[in-house]
Amino acid sequence: MLRAIRRFVGAAVLLVLGFLGLLFVQALLARRGDDPPFVNPSREPMRFGTDGAPQLRLVVIGDSTGAGQGAPYAAGIAVHCARRLAGTGRRVSLVNRSVSGATTADVRREQLEPAAALRPEVVLVAAGANDVTSLRRTGAVKRDLRAIVRRLREASPDTRIVLTGSPDVGSSPRLAQPLRAVAGARTRQVNRVIRTLVAGERLTFAPIAARTGPQFRRDRTLFSPDRYHPDARGYATWRAPLDAALREVGYLP
């Protein structure tokens, strides 16, 4: 019996090591390729709405999802939110500090203070995907986001903060199976932690992964040529949960 148990344990260890090796190789292959060049958004304010209308400052911080990688910038979520807010009779000043590849730790370290200095009325935090792919501990993600929220509120106590969490990384056709399944499970894990922060800190969540992940899994044409980021049609699927979030914070009717 002891010999059989040892054989079973040895086989299980080899299976686990083989699985991890496969994931490692797939991750390396997913990083290869000639991706289209991308430049992060200008840090200069963009203005929307009519001169003389009530002023509203919107700041976007986060990763490539906030920066709009994969589509023309005007088709991304930052400009969409600014236009929606301006459509309610406001003069909106949009500043986008998002950086492609940023984790929540990078947002906290590099984007937070410039964002807080603007004392915005609305902040969109579009981050989480790179915490998924870099396998950061969920406790660290939660601490970083809590620090971001508290610093923004310290600078402007009435600011309204919307978090998107991570999109469904497991929907990406750039990832092969079983890496794609692991990425999907990690997305759900990270977003569950973000949801607990949202509840505890009285924030607003725009659930882009839960609401649109199934669409991306069914329709590969929603991805840009890099097969990872959304294209313009892909970003358009995120508008409904974002509009609902802006409505929840009181800035859309």
pLDDT per position as a tens digit, 18-55: 333 433 333 333 455 556 789 999 999 999 999 999 99
**Stretch (H or E) spanning 122:** strand 122-126
Mean pLDDT in residue range 60-89: 97
**pLDDT value at position 179?**
81
**pLDDT value at position 176?**
81
**pLDDT value at position 19?**
32
Question: What CATH superfamily classification does 42-248 receive?
Answer: SGNH hydrolase (3.40.50.1110)
Output the DSSP codes for 3-58: HHHHHHHHHHHHHHHHHHHHHHHHHHHHH-S-PPP--PPPSS-EEES-TTSPEEEE
Q: Which residues contact 6 (CB under 8 A, 6 or more apart)?
A: none
Q: Cβ of 2: how many Cβ atoms within 10 Å?
A: 6
Q: The whole model's pTM is what?
A: 0.88
Mean pLDDT in residue range 106-114: 98
**pLDDT value at position 178?**
79
Return the amino acid letter for 125. Answer: V
Mean pLDDT in residue range 183-190: 95
Rounded Cα–Cα distance for residues 165 and 187 (Å): 9
**pLDDT value at position 30?**
44
Rounded Cα–Cα distance for residues 217 and 170 (Å): 8
CB 202 within 8 A of CB 188: no
Q: What is the pLDDT of residues 200-249, one digit of tens each?
A: 999 999 999 999 999 999 999 999 999 999 999 999 999 999 999 999 99
* Reported confidence tier of residue 253, pLDDT bands at 50, 70, 90: very high
Sign of CA dihedral 218, 69, 194, 156: negative
CB 132 within 8 A of CB 190: yes
* Alpha-carbon torsion angle 166, 226, 178, 11, nearest 10: -110
**pLDDT value at position 34?**
58
Domain map (residue ranges) of the chain: 1-33, 42-248
Task: Evaluate if residue 169 carries a pLDDT over 80.
Answer: yes
